[in-house]
Amino acid sequence: MSHLSIQLPGLELKNPIMPASGCFGFGKEYGKLYDLSKLGAIMIKATTVETRFGNPTPRVAETPAGMLNAIGLQNPGLEKVMKNELPYLEQFDVPIIANVAGTITEDYVEVADKISAAPNVKALELNISCPNVKHGGITFGTDPVIARELVEAVKKVSKVPVYVKLSPNVTDIVEIAKAVEAGGADGITMINTLIGMRLDERTGKPVIANGTGGLSGPAVKPVAIRMVYEVYKAVKIPIIGMGGVSNAQDVIEFMSAGASAVAVGTANFVDPFVCPKIIEELPEKLDRLGVKYVKEIIGRSHR
């Protein structure tokens, strides 16, 4: 067994590092830069039943140690993802986690049913936390009863384990985490972006056309660590942690808080080679801690 390998429901990870959904497209751009088989897994961009163009531009704005985005779930739609995007990724030895989004329960169920049948999709990530669409998304992620019902509905049709991506834009994230666990979720991924806003110096109006955007990057890491720490104590299902991960030290921090694996988001935009760099750095960081297997550090802050 490799020192970096991690076993999770549906996922045999070579290492605990994966690009986060929305920060890696469907892999094609990064596939030109390095061998995607190096990655633990890939969380592909959110897929909806229909083709979506997303929000008007500007869609991104830089903030101190972070960025706001309001892309708005732009994607080619379920059919094209199945036909064009997933087959491309089959050439790599890497499990795919398909991010599933929609407006109503039936949308999630339809995408989950079909996309979970793709040979390289080993798990689903239910996106109940996108802050940038007017309907669906986050409305499922802020009410524990609705979140639980959605998980139950998707679990009935999915052929692979179902992870649920939680929003930090709630009063009590533990309550939502417990609800999705009770609904049968196999794991939790957290956190999605924090809703934020930036105003133009000159006009006083929002920089992003959508008004608000989701804050990501190093600025949100302490919030994410705190939430992973709390949720780890409250649920038995594994957590894939994310929020401002930029280097191997951040990975260790997330795993110490309770994450079994870690997703890298915004850092891919800053340095497209960041994921393989972290994978390369990780063994040395573990050596320094006197740790042989990376899984030993999961939740060590609670021991």
Partner 1 sequence: MIQQERMIVVRQSEIAQHIFELTLQGQIVQDMAPGQFVHIRVSDSFEPLLRRPLSIANIDKEAGEATIIYRAEGRGTEILSTKQIGDEVDVLGPLGNGFPVDAAPEGGTVLLVGGGIGVPPLYELSKVLNARGIRTIQVFGFATEDVAFYEEQFSTLGDTHFVTVDGTNGTKGFVTDLLEELKPEFDLFYACGPLPMLRALERFYPEKPGYLSFEERMGCGIGACFACVCKTTEATDQDYVKVCSDGPVFPKGVIQL
Catalytic residues: 130
Using the contact rule CB under 8 A, the part of the chain among 6-14, 127-135, 151-159, 268-276 near partner 1 is 268-276
Give the separation between CA 240 and CA 254, rounded to whole angstroms.
Answer: 9
Chosen residue from 2, 7, 37, 57 binding partner 1 by CB under 8 A: 57
Match 């499922």 to its residue by tokens.
140
* Minimal distance, residue 232 CB to partner 1, in Å: 26
Give the separation between CA 277 and CA 248, rounded to whole angstroms.
Answer: 8
Residue 157 binds partner 1 (CB under 8 A)? no
* Minimal distance, residue 176 CB to partner 1, in Å: 27
Pairing state between β 162-165 and 121-127: parallel
Using the contact rule CB under 8 A, the part of the chain among 35-43, 65-73, 130-138, 256-264 near partner 1 is 65-73
65/117 with CB nearer partner 1: 65
* Minimal distance, residue 154 CB to partner 1, in Å: 25
> Which residue numbers belong to the known binding site for FMN?
21, 45-46, 99, 127, 165, 191, 217, 243-244, 265-266
Give the separation between CA 54 and CA 247, rounded to whole angstroms.
Answer: 30
Sheet holding 17-19, edge to edge: 17-19, 261-264, 239-241, 187-190, 162-165, 121-127, 96-100, 42-47
Name the residue among 112, 86, 83, 114 with its Cα closest to residue 26: 86
> Which residue numbers belong to the known binding site for substrate?
45, 69-73, 127, 192-193
271/287 with CB nearer partner 1: 271
Is 38:17 a contact under the CB 8 Å cutoff? no
- Beta partners for 96? 42, 121
The first and second tokens of residue 21, run together, are 């959904």
Using the contact rule CB under 8 A, the part of the chain among 9-17, 129-137, 161-169, 264-272 near partner 1 is 264-272
Residue 32 binds partner 1 (CB under 8 A)? yes
Residue 66 binds partner 1 (CB under 8 A)? yes
69/103 with CB nearer partner 1: 69
Residue 137 binds partner 1 (CB under 8 A)? no
Query: Per-residue DSSP letters for 134-199?
Result: SSSTHHHHS-HHHHHHHHHHHHHH-SS-EEEEPPS-SS-HHHHHHHHHHTT-SEEEE--PEEE--B
The first and second tokens of residue 105, run together, are 């329960």
Residue 249 binds partner 1 (CB under 8 A)? no
Interaction site with partner 1 (CB under 8 A): 22-25, 28-30, 32-33, 51, 53-54, 57-62, 64-67, 69, 71, 74, 217-219, 246, 266, 268-273
